[in-house]
Each structure stands twice: as structure tokens, then as C-alpha cells.
Amino acid sequence: MAEKPIIEVQGLTKRFKGLTAVHDVSFSVEKGSITGMIGPNGAGKSTTFNMICGYYPPTEGKIFYNGEDITNKKAYEYTNMKIARTFQIMKPLKNLSVLDNVTAAAYFGHAGAKSEKEAKERAMEVLHFTGLYEKRHVISKDMGTPDQKRLEMARALATKPEVLFLDENMAGLNPAETEEAIQLIRKINESGVTILLIEHIMKAVVSLCEKVIVLHHGEKIAEGTPEQVMNDPYVMEVYLGTKKEGASA
């Protein structure tokens, strides 16, 4: 299992007109794993994420996927490479039904459906998998947050990705909903999808991730298993409060 990592990020830097949002971040994601990226607000997680997903180009640095340099690939080329993503600020296709949302996605990507029937069938499959089947005819803008989050994942899954990027998928969920989301993510991973996620909810990070990367002020300050990272004194100081408080894990 210690082969070439599926995603490798080297020296990623992003400068916006005088503000350096991300500085020299490097890490790798092992195939089949669940890796987490955490850090206080403003640490540069989303910016890093968006660079890796092709939403804006890095000022410096490179991104590799299965050894191939994808640094300059455009956002819409990703599903063709079997990489899918969700958004932190949910983007349901508001006026379309859940089924249509996922059917739309099923047409695209490397395994784009060739016919309406094929697209619908795959959409149904994904809806069953993510537990949204019962709600498939609901217009997506009328759904609550947890369902919309699942819809984000369903849409991503419909493109049959090998790698899935989840951007704060659990923000705004109550504990029961969080647990459901954790189960779903685990289920997705078990079906063979590598996952890189940004998260604030420590419970999720600890129970899901094999490796955690910690960002602060745009730089990587720690990397390791959740336990290692949680017990790192600098991380505790920066993220979890002073050494006195913040005992989790």
C-alpha cells in the first residue's frame, strides 16, 4: 500500500495581491485512504482545496495526480480524471429535483452516461446508496441542510470518481446527522474511493481520518495520525486552546 500517493501536492502557494493565503504547503494523499485537513478559520484550507480542485491556479507549486502534473487543469476537466468535489457553501441545482440533480451529474465525467436511461439508472443507484431515494422528486431548494449536503455527495458520486474532495461537509449538522454523514463517508471510502476532506468537526476527523494535515496562517504546521496531531503541543495551542483545555480524542 505504500506505493506512489494518488494525490501529491508540492510547495503550493497562493498570493492574492499582497496577501499570502497559502505558503509552501506540501503533502500527499495515499490511495484508498481518508485524509483530513484541519485548521482554524482563515488557515487557508479552502484556498488550498480550491487550488487542488482547479478553481484557481496556484501562484507557485505543483499538484500531481497518479504521478501526472495536473496543476493547470481547469475545474471542469476533473471529473474526466475521476476526481469529484463538493462545496462548502452548498450548490444544489435549486430548481431541479433531487433526481434531476444527480441525473445531470451522471451524464458527465469519465464515465458519462450515453443515454437518458443509463443516466437515470445510475442516478437511482447513487440515490439509494446515499439514502436520498425516497426524496428523489423533491425540488432541491426545498430540502434541509443535511439532505442538501448528501445531495452534494450524491452528485459527486454520480460521476464515478476515484478521488472525492469534501469541503466541510458536516458544517451545520447536529450530532445525529453528523454520525450519519460519517457513516456515509466511510461507506463511500469502503467502496474504493480515496477521500480528502476539510473539516472542523473533530469527532468526524478523529473517527474517519487515517492522516491529518494541520494548516495555520497558510502553512502546514503538523501532519500525522489524528492522535499524533491532537497531541502535538503547537497544534493544541493554536487550534484547540491552551494546553490546559481542549482535551479531546
Residue with C-alpha cell 439508472? 121
Q: How many Å apart are CA 247 and CA 228, to the nearest integer?
A: 13
Using rule CB under 8 A, residue 91 touches other proteins: yes
Using rule CB under 8 A, residue 6 touches other proteins: no
Q: How many Å apart are CA 140 and CA 151, to the nearest integer?
A: 8
Three-class SS of residue 8? strand
To the nearest 10 degrees (0 to 180), the angle between helices 116-130 and 98-106 is 120
From 22-30, 69-77, 170-178, 182-190, give the range in contact with other proteins by CB under 8 A: 69-77
What does residue 111 show for φ and ψ, rounded to 5 degrees? Answer: -115, 40
Task: For residue 152, give the C-alpha cell.
Answer: 452534494
Using rule CB under 8 A, residue 15 touches other proteins: no
Residue 34 pairs in a beta bridge with: 195
Using rule CB under 8 A, residue 65 touches other proteins: no
Q: How many Å apart are CA 39 and CA 51, to the nearest integer?
A: 17
Measured from the CB atom, the residue of 74 and 244 that comes closer to other proteins is 74
Using rule CB under 8 A, residue 7 touches other proteins: no
**Positions 192 through 211 that interact with other proteins (CB under 8 A):** none
Using rule CB under 8 A, residue 164 touches other proteins: no
- Residue 124 falls in which region: left (phi positive, over 0), alpha (psi -120 to 50) or beta: alpha
Q: How many residues are there in the chain?
A: 249
- Which one of 46, 47, 130, 159 is in contact with other proteins (CB under 8 A)? 159
From 19-27, 54-62, 203-211, 226-234, give the range in contact with other proteins by CB under 8 A: 54-62
Measured from the CB atom, the residue of 125 and 219 that comes closer to other proteins is 125
Using rule CB under 8 A, residue 95 touches other proteins: yes
From 26-34, 64-72, 97-105, 239-247, give the range in contact with other proteins by CB under 8 A: 97-105
- Which one of 4, 75, 142, 231 is in contact with other proteins (CB under 8 A)? 75
User: If we measure between CA atoms, which residue out of 249, 130, 128, 124 comes closest to residue 183?
Assistant: 130
Contact of 89 with 55, CB cutoff 8 Å = no
Helix (H) or strand (E) holding 26: strand 19-29
In whole angstroms, how close is the CB of 160 to other proteins at the nearest point? Answer: 11
Using rule CB under 8 A, residue 135 touches other proteins: no
Measured from the CB atom, the residue of 41 and 115 that comes closer to other proteins is 115
Could you list the residues that contact other proteins (CB under 8 A)? 17, 53, 55-57, 74-80, 84-87, 91-96, 100, 103-105, 107-109, 112-113, 116-117, 119-121, 124, 137, 155-156, 159
